[in-house]
Structure 1
């Protein structure tokens, strides 16, 4: 029997599929998975041990909430007000679009669907962050790609982690646009400052 909850869930799932297929119509050329590590100094403004997150105020005035990797052994000792030096691991998946292909607009979308009945609840949540970057340099022999956010910031060099992505690096040229379709930033070390 179709209920309003099932119809709502189906409608939301259809919206997610439509968003994915709209990107596919742009005929992306190749997917490239990357990982890079970097460090920054920050003051801890909140700690959530259950979610394993820290809220940070960086020395440049920026703020962020970051997931803390299970490998960080001293997470239990972190407290609000600590000035720390953090190491981050930034994982991204990029899609290179063909020449004259319009890239999707930047967006951060989360869809949550829940349904219940008979004392039980079932749900699902899906998220997608889409951001466009410009290629500043490519080094196929080293397996790296350097990118900058068109909105500003520093040039970041990423290590391409998959053999399939490394094989496609010769196709990427400075000035190309790539779209980040998945991202994950995790704190991998916390050191007192």
Structure 2
């Protein structure tokens, strides 16, 4: 668990440092009776301009021309595989799926599952850190006038969820349950420079 916290911290620092860089962003929303999903992805690439092996610091050049220094701790495998000119790609993905469980019957619950992948020994540095959170909540009120459904979570807290689609709202009743599955992942990959 300590490794996961370290990786998550390192990933968030790197993401924050490159957040201002222009990248590719996409978002998607889908729905069907009793189910809706919203997902988004942001991808940023940068080029390694300088490597300081003594401090394990890599200087990245963003697409906007700005330089960003990122310190890579001892836990980052294969530091010696990095080369000036390599292309670093960082991808952040998140998704939320809400599913209606007619009639309920299960217990309200929450479960969080961490996910970590590291580069293999001898390969270019990279990896992924993420998590999946599943929550089962009880429908305790439906207000068609305000188009809201009140959900009660496993710890007794409630929240109002606005349902824009009247057909979706019409199928929700007190006693039903809603399962929410939230996933997020931050991945880093490194590819050798393309020589012309």
TM-score (norm 1): 0.39
TM-score (norm 2): 0.39
Larger Rg computed on CA atoms: 2
